[in-house]
Chains A and B, each alone.
Chain A
Amino acid sequence: MLSKRIIPCLDVRNGKLTKGVKFEGNVDIGDPVETAKRYYEEGADEIVFYDITASHEGRGIMLKVVEAVASQIFIPFSVGGGISTVADMRDVLLAGAEKISVNSAAVKTPHIITEGAEAFGSQCIVVGMDVLRVPASEAIPSGYEIVIHGGRKHMGIDALWWAREVERLGAGELCVNSIDADGTKDGYELTLTRLIADSVRIPVIASGGAGNPQHMVDAVTEGRASAALIASIVHYGEYTVTDLKNYMADKGVKVRRIW
Chain B
Amino acid sequence: MLAILDYKAGNLTSVKRALDYLSIPCTITADAQVIAGCEGLIFPGVGAAGSAMAYLGRSGLKEIMAHEIAAGKPLLGICLGCQILLEYSPENDTTTLGLIPGRCDIFTPDLTEEDGSPINIPHMGWNTVTLRKECPLFDGISTESEFYFVHSYYPNPAPEYVIGTTYYGREFCSVHGRDGLWSAQFHPEKSGRPGLKMLSNFYAYCREAANAQ
Give chain A's interface residues, CB within 8 Å of chain B: 1-3, 5, 40, 45, 70-72, 74-76, 93-94, 96, 98, 121-123, 172-173, 201-203, 224, 226-227, 256-259
Contact = CB atoms under 8 A, between A and B. Distances in A.
A257 B144 contact: yes
B168 interface: yes
Interface hub of B10, B13, B125, B150 (most chain A Cβ within 10 A): B125
Contacts, number: 91
Contacts of A226: 120, 124-125
Nearest to B196: A74
Contacts of B47: 121
| Contact residues of B: prevailing secondary structure | mixed
26 contacts: A1-B114, A2-B126, A3-B125, A5-B125, A5-B126, A45-B126, A74-B18, A74-B21, A74-B189, A75-B190, A75-B191, A93-B11, A98-B11, A98-B14, A98-B150, A98-B190, A122-B122, A173-B124, A203-B120, A226-B124, A227-B125, A258-B142, A258-B146, A258-B194, A259-B192, A259-B193
Given A74-B21, A226-B125, A258-B144, A202 B194 contact: no
B195 interface: yes
Contacts of B95: none
A2 B13 contact: no
Q: Which 4 A-B pairs have the closest CB atoms?
A: A259-B192, A3-B126, A256-B146, A123-B150
B158 interface: no
A123 B17 contact: no
Interface string B39-69: 0000000111000000000000000000000
